[in-house]
């Protein structure tokens, strides 16, 4: 019923089976769709992580499938689910909690994001959220407003400061500067919408492989 050759990724709306609340919008490829049907739990394709993922694989906030509906054109899906905990990475029940006209937040968080995700993943999402914030109120937004060169200049500066800290040998300063470098590196990869999960996947691929062998496998 879905032409996956024509539509390799289709939008998926997740709806709570009891409240009928719209929980989130994501995407599915054929593999995610088939896993959803076979496992009974919602699976999606992450465009930022470039892989299929099970909803709740990190946070534990899974979506048990009650029904799956296909729209009349065969190019969109509706997952009717039993939502466990928060559907949104922010800790809100639904991803739709902000009024467009006023920016007002509807409803309170029902979960603490600190308990749902690791600090790197939380920081990456915060960076994405602040990309379009007021540059006068957000350091991250101010860097994005200045453009790519400003972002890359800060990465270079922080790398230099880490080098100097290591040369000086002061442990606390090394930790401080390494943290600054990681923070600005996250801003840089966020500017290209590259999720930390892809970095972890690459590190996993290299695990057990010598540096010389890994470099020899790279394309020129």
- Rounded Cα distance, 101 and 42, in Å: 31
What is the pTM (predicted TM-score) of this model? 0.69
Which tokens in the block code for residue 20? 């009928």
Kindly report the backbone phi and psi dihedral angles of residue 45, in degrees, each rounded to the nearest multiple of 5, phi listed first. -110, 120
What tokens does 127 get? 């960076």
- Could you read off the pLDDT of 60-112 as tens digits, one per residue? 899 999 999 999 999 999 999 999 999 998 899 999 999 999 989 988 898 88
Burial bucket for residue 44 (CB in 10 Å: 0-12, 13-18, 19+) = buried
Which CATH number does the domain housing residue 70 bear? Answer: 3.10.20.810
pLDDT digits (tens, 9 = 90+) for 110-129: 888 777 778 898 899 899 98
What CATH number corresponds to the domain at position 145? 1.10.287.1080
Tell me the H-state helices in 19-147. 30-39, 113-116, 119-130, 139-146
pLDDT surpassing 90 at residue 180: yes
What is the pLDDT of the chain when averaged over all its residues? 91
Q: What is the CA radius of gyration of the chain?
A: 21
For residue 200, what pLDDT is reported? 84
Task: Measure CA 49 to chain center.
Answer: 7
User: 186 with 201, same domain?
Assistant: yes
Asked whether residue 107 falls in the same domain as residue 131, the answer is: no
Q: What are phi and psi of 61, to 5 degrees?
A: -90, 75
The verdict on 137 and 195 lying in the same domain is yes
Q: Calculate ∠ Cα 11-32-60, nearest 5°.
A: 95
Q: Residue 210 has which token pair? A: 């010598």
Over the stretch 57-72, which tens digit does the pLDDT of each residue have? Answer: 888 899 999 999 999 9
Enclosing domain of residue 128: 119-209
Count of domains in the chain?
A: 2
DSSP letters, 111-171, are: S-HHHHS-HHHHHHHHHHHHTTS-TTT-HHHHHHHH-HHHHHHHHHHHHHHHHHHHHHT-H
Q: Per the domain annotation, does 220 fall within a domain?
A: no
Last residue of one domain, picked from the residues 69, 87, 115: 115
DSSP 58: T
Residue range 196-205: average pLDDT? 85
Are 168 and 82 part of one and the same domain? no
44 near 68, Cβ under 8 Å? no
Same domain, 25 and 98: yes
Residue 214 has pLDDT above 80, yes or no: no
Cα 184 to the center of its chain, rounded Å: 17
């Amino acid at each position: 019923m879905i032409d996956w050759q024509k539509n390799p990724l289709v939008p998926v709306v997740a709806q709570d089976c009891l409240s009928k609340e719209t929980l989130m919008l994501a995407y599915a490829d054929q593999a995610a769709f088939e896993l959803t049907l076979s496992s009974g739990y919602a699976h999606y394709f992450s465009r930022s992580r470039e892989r299929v993922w099970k909803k709740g694989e990190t946070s534990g906030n899974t979506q048990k499938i009650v029904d799956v509906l296909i729209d009349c054109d065969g190019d969109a899906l509706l997952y009717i689910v039993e939502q466990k905990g928060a559907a949104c990475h922010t800790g809100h029940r639904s991803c739709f909690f902000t009024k467009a006209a006023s920016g007002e937040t509807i409803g309170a968080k029902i979960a603490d994001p600190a308990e749902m995700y690791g600090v790197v993943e939380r920081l990456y999402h915060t960076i994405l959220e602040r990309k379009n914030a007021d540059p006068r109120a957000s350091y991250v937004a101010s860097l994005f407003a200045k453009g790519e060169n400003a972002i890359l200049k800060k990465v270079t500066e922080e790398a230099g400061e880490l080098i100097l800290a290591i040369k000086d040998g002061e442990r606390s300063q090394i930790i401080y500067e390494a943290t600054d470098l990681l923070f600005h590196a996250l801003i840089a990869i966020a500017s290209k919408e590259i999720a930390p999960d892809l970095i972890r996947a690459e590190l996993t691929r290299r695990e057990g492989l010598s540096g010389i062998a890994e470099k020899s496998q790279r394309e020129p």
